[in-house]
Amino acid sequence: MKIFPLLVVISSAAHLALSERQVVSINDRTFSIYWPTPNNATHAGDGSCTILLGLHGLGDNADSFCAWTAFKEYAERDGVVLVCPQGLPGWLGEAAWNAGSCCTFSGVDDVSFIDSVVSSVRGYLQQRNQQCVSQSILLAGFSNGAMMAEAYACERPTDVKGVVSVAGVVALLPIGGGLDSCDRDFAARAGRSVAVLGVHGTKDWRVPMNGDPIVGFPPVREDLQRWAQRGKCLTTGPSDPSQFRRGRFSNEIICATELGESSVELVVREDGTHAWFEETEFDTSEYAWSFMMRAANVTEQPGVRGRPLLDGQLRSQRVRASEKASEGMRRFREAHVQPEPFLFV
């Protein structure tokens, strides 16, 4: 394992203090750790420290993703350890994750890689004398990174408290049987309830809302309903006070905890494409962060919210990341589609 020198990263929000970026290499794979300043480091109500893994989309990179989502600023504000792993070039030549049917076409074991990342971060927490009773693991991903986040929660459900999946689904093998595979993995490891937030556009033709059996993508609602079933989560009715409609955005509380907080939720953007949405009515980063903090029992601190944190350059990075992921997913799906055979009668 190689540990690169600590780098000082200046937050783009003037009121935030400096945070440390530590770059680590494990077997020629890298990840960055953004440590909150000591005076911001907080423990959740149950005495645990919170580790968030941000998984970039197809064609993006680790540090870009954690920057344009504004997760670095949120993590510094709320005392969360932010970890940004880097995917490997896949069959398309773009950085990708092996989440099952998507998107590397290789045998790389990204679940084991993330295991190593989590183990390393836990070791560094001990070295830093962080008095954690335990560590709460959260994952947030976009596109192929969202699929990887869900895959890791399927296979390591005792470690994960919450997942945010933007434009993603469970895509475990075999093709067409990914949800059943997740059920078996979850049950075999006596998984507890995992809070899952899905954010999806109705015109996402890359990861369609209604699924794509050719490439092994289940329907988005079925994906989330299965998460509720795995965690034996309470169902809710249409009068749930947490439901909203904001312009073209609406949400569906698929199930909730006994405390009434959302445990499995879907936010839908009408006419939305394969993108991480940042609009006046709804900011994906801000909403996702609040969801994860509730899952980890962390109290959000006052401060600047999502959109003001993003300058023009970071907004451009977000747009490019969405475009790259969309184009990469288009090429990936085309590679799976075979022409219909001619029928001779």
What does the mean pLDDT of the chain come to?
Answer: 84
pLDDT in tens, 2-27: 444 333 332 333 333 446 889 999 98
Q: Tell me which of 87-96, 174-183, 331-340 is least confident.
A: 331-340
Radius of gyration, alpha carbons of the chain: 19
What value does the mean pLDDT take over residues 100-106? Answer: 86
Q: Tell me which of 102-106, 181-185, 339-343 is least confident.
A: 339-343
Q: How far apart are CA 98 and CA 106, in angstroms?
A: 7
Q: Which fold has domain 2-336?
A: Rossmann fold (3.40.50)
Predicted TM-score (pTM) of this structure: 0.88
- pLDDT > 70? residue 82: yes
pLDDT in tens, 170-189: 999 999 899 999 999 999 98
Domain ranges of the chain: 2-336
What value does the mean pLDDT take over residues 135-151? Answer: 96
For the chain, list the strands marked E by DSSP: 2-3, 7-9, 19-26, 29-35, 49-55, 81-85, 88-89, 95-96, 135-142, 160-166, 195-201, 234-235, 245-246, 249-256, 262-269
What pLDDT sits at residue 187?
92
- pLDDT > 90? residue 246: yes
Confidence band for 49, pLDDT divided at 50, 70 and 90: confident
| Nearest to 52, CA basis, from 136, 126, 169 | 136
